[in-house]
Chain A
Amino acid sequence: MNYIDHHAHMVSRTTDDYEKMALSGCVAVTEPAFWAGWDRSSADGFDDYFRQLTVAEPQRAAAYRMQHYSWLAMNPKEADNRELSKEVLKRIPKFIGCPTVLGIGEIGLNRITRNEVDTFREQVEMAIQYKQLILIHTPHLEDKKKGTRICIEVLRQYPELKPENVLIDHAEEHTLEMILEHGYWAGLTLYPMTKLSAVRAVDIVEVFGPGRICVAGACDWGPSDSLAVPRFIMEMKRRHHAEELIQRVVFDNPVQFLGQSANFKVAPRAREVSPAMA
């Protein structure tokens, strides 16, 4: 089954991961800019990172006939450093014109400091100014509900921002309702331990329905799984869900959200149209 992983940190993965993902049906990945696992010492490091995201990774993916897209941002883990954040934000606009950039992300909150909120707000404004989609990181564990709520409060201060242009990622059971009720897309990121599992993600689809929900692996340098989306597909099949429903969540939904960027080139599925509907 073809699928799209809208959140994968491929700079941290080996070429074997690209091959496994391609073999399992992945046609495209989108890679948000994130923390390297340690704090960078200067904005120059981000320049190189953004070149890696916009030049090197699309080439690695193409070797396996996969499309690679990226999101640019000052990530939440380093966003408390206001001086560094301001320098990094100055460097983002020159990359926005790259043909595989979809938007600003992953922006958001980590420990929910005042500085993080200020950096988040500036990046929302940048996305509005450059007419970019937004991908939002919400904090993990005990900080998730508070962080998601504050992200939404900030977003709602910009009436010119269309909710359908925003995906709020790392959603869980206790944050999904507030994300969907305000019109945003919700991302379920699946991890092998400590965070949301494929089993619970399927529960969420059963309880909330498939509307405006996307599923990703968020694989990175930590414990994570480049095949998380295929495991979600397997779990859906284990519950006897129809192929059409599964395809909607893992392919149609991401195509609908990501396709709002003119740079995203994956075509929607061809639908069979009965003569009566033609």
Chain B
Amino acid sequence: MLTSEQLIDEYFVENRNRVLEVAAFLDRLDRADESGQSVLDFRLRAFGEALSTLSAPALADPAGSRLNRIQELLSDPTTEPIPALDRKSARGAYDLWSAEARQ
């Protein structure tokens, strides 16, 4: 395994680029969103929470890693199969804010 110094040397530049890609995505959204409605999209709300998690400290328990916490907040928290097929593909985040989810 690499040391922390080696990890920074090896991976900083590509992760610097990833942060810039996220910033560019959010700026692009702002330019396109004259009404300011995109912040209400459940995917963007989950995305915002994920970004907050990135700057939070990691917990000692592996389940409390930043990555696991983000996986959890992007996951469907329900436990039962749905009664009927609604669509073919997943959307990337669960709509925790819909009336249906609040029931």
Contact = CB atoms under 8 A, between A and B. Distances in A.
Given A114-B81, A173-B68, A207-B62, A142 B91 contact: yes
Contacts, number: 74
B2 interface: yes
A142 B93 contact: yes
Contact of B76 (A142, A238, A239): A142
A32 interface: no
Nearest to B69: A174
Contacts of B91: 141-142
Nearest to A175: B71
A222 B36 CA distance: 33
Contacts of B85: 80, 111, 113, 115-116
A143 B90 contact: yes
B10 A150 contact: no
Main secondary structure of the interface of A (DSSP, over half): helix
A125 interface: no
Nearest to B43: A142
A111 B86 contact: yes
A140 B71 contact: no
Interface residues of B, number: 29
Given A77-B88, A240-B1, A240-B2, A113 B76 contact: no
Nearest to B67: A173
A172 interface: yes
B92 interface: yes
Nearest to A117: B81
Interface string A175-188: 00100000000000
A145 interface: yes
A70 interface: no
Interface in B59-87: 62-63, 65, 67-68, 71-72, 74-79, 81-87
28 contacts: A77-B88, A111-B82, A111-B85, A111-B90, A112-B81, A112-B82, A113-B81, A113-B82, A114-B83, A116-B81, A116-B85, A141-B74, A141-B92, A141-B93, A142-B90, A142-B91, A142-B94, A143-B76, A143-B90, A145-B71, A145-B76, A146-B75, A146-B77, A174-B68, A174-B71, A206-B1, A207-B62, A239-B2
